[in-house]
Amino acid sequence: MSDGRFDGQVAVVTGGAQGIGLAISRLLAERGATVCILDLDEGLAGKTAKGLSEVGPEGRAYFGDVTDEASLIAAREKILADFGHVEVLVNNAGVYPHATIRELTVEIWNTMFDVNAKGVLLATRVFMDPMIEKKYGRIVSMVTNDAYIAKPTTPAYAASKAAVLSLIRTFALELAPHQVLCNGVSPGAVATEKTKNAKWLVEKTPLIPLRRPATPEDMAEYVAFLSSNRNRFMTGETIVTNGGWSMF
């Protein structure tokens, strides 16, 4: 079967209640997945999940703090009790505070690595077991264009995402024999509700060869493809989807 759909599958999306995560949740739901949104903000996640039930089989919200393994295990157990299986995990939760080398506090550095890097380690480790058991799984982690370049405005963010690139490769090797494929998507400028009027986005747009920022829906397509049964031979890779930006 390689219809690119998710009928009968359960997808877990961390930070899936808003922004790019919401677009991912929505597209997976539209293509037939039962979507479990893991979010710190249960109220917002619940509202989003309700909307997903209108476009797909079912959306459901679960509390999950990606920095707290116990909360992830609790969420996994609830999801398995509710639906019995998990085929797709999207590691989307992340934080993006600006702080230069001089401004960076150890607290900001730690938070960034806790959420962006350790969060991927923990969520992947927690949700890989039901996939191993089924001998099928797709894990997609959101990275960023910044993981490959110097980033004076957000050095900790860039470094934490570079760590995710490495984790994707390690999980890929660990899980390949179990037919669980692990990949990443690296967006450049994406116009979400939060970023669409941001100074950096407005300044970057003319530098993008496609002459526009991406929409969250553009990004969701890459995640959906890598999460789907149409991807059967790609693992440990991260695709850069930045409108050609990194080539300059």
Partner 1 sequence: MSDKEFDGQVAVVTGAAGGIGFAIAKLFAERGATASIWDVDSAAADAAAKKLKDMGLKAHSQGLDVTDEEQIFAARDATLADCGQIDILVNNAGLYPEGTIQNMTREAWDRVFAVNVTGPFFLMRALMEHMKARKFGRMVNIVTVDAYMAKQTKPHYAASKAALLSVMKTYAIELAPHGILVNGVSPGAVATERAKLSDWLEPHTKKTPVGYSAEPEQMAEYVLFLASKRNMFMAGECIIASGGFYVASA
Whichever of 27 and 45 has its CB closer to partner 1, that residue is 27
State the catalytic residue, choosing from 96, 148, 157, 222.
157
Residue 146 Cα to chain centre, angstroms: 15
The edge-to-edge listing of strands for the beta sheet with 10-14 is: 58-63, 34-39, 10-14, 88-91, 137-142, 180-187, 238-241
Can you tell me which of 147, 214, 223, 227 binds partner 1, judged by CB under 8 A?
A: 214
63-81: buried (b, 16+ CB within 10 Å) or exposed (e) per residue?
ebbbbeeebbbebbeebee
Cα–Cα dist 57/33, whole Å: 7
Residues 86, 128, 158, 181: which binds partner 1 (CB under 8 A)?
Answer: 181
Least distance in Å: CB of 73 to partner 1? 27
- Quote the CA–CA distance of 138 and 90 in Å, as a whole number: 8
From candidates 77, 133, 135, 176, binder to partner 1 by CB under 8 A:
176
Q: Number of residues in contact with partner 1, rule: CB under 8 A?
A: 39
Task: Residue 113: count other Cβ atoms within 10 Å of its Cβ.
Answer: 17
Q: Which stretch binds partner 1 (CB under 8 A): 1-9, 80-88, 106-114, 115-123?
A: 1-9
Tell me how far apart the alpha carbons of residues 248 and 229 are, in angstroms, rounded to a whole number: 34
Cα(33)–Cα(9) distance, rounded to whole angstroms? Answer: 5
Q: Of 172, 184, 223, 227, which lies in the binding site for partner 1, with binding defined by CB under 8 A? A: 172
| 173, 193, 198, 200: which one binds partner 1 (CB under 8 A) | 173
* Minimum CB distance to partner 1, residue 109 (Å): 28
Site track 23-62 with partner 1 (rule: CB under 8 A), x = hit: --------x-------------------------------
Residue type, 158: A
**Assigned token pair, 38:** 């893991």
The contact pattern for partner 1, residues 194-213, with x = CB under 8 A and - = no contact, is: ---------------xxx--
Q: Which one of 46, 51, 57, 236 is in contact with partner 1 (CB under 8 A)?
A: 236
Instruction: Copy the structure tokens of residue 170.
Output: 């390690």
- Is 157 annotated in the active site? yes
Contact call for residue 143 and partner 1 (CB under 8 A):
no
Strands 180-187 and 238-241: parallel
CB of 182 to partner 1, least distance (A): 9
Q: Name residue, tokens 């707290």.
A: 68
Q: How far apart are alpha carbons 205 and 224 in whole angstroms? A: 25
Give the residues lining the site for partner 1 (CB under 8 A): 2-5, 31, 169, 172-173, 176-177, 179, 181, 209-211, 214, 218-219, 221-222, 224-225, 230-237, 239-244, 246-248
Catalytic residues: 157
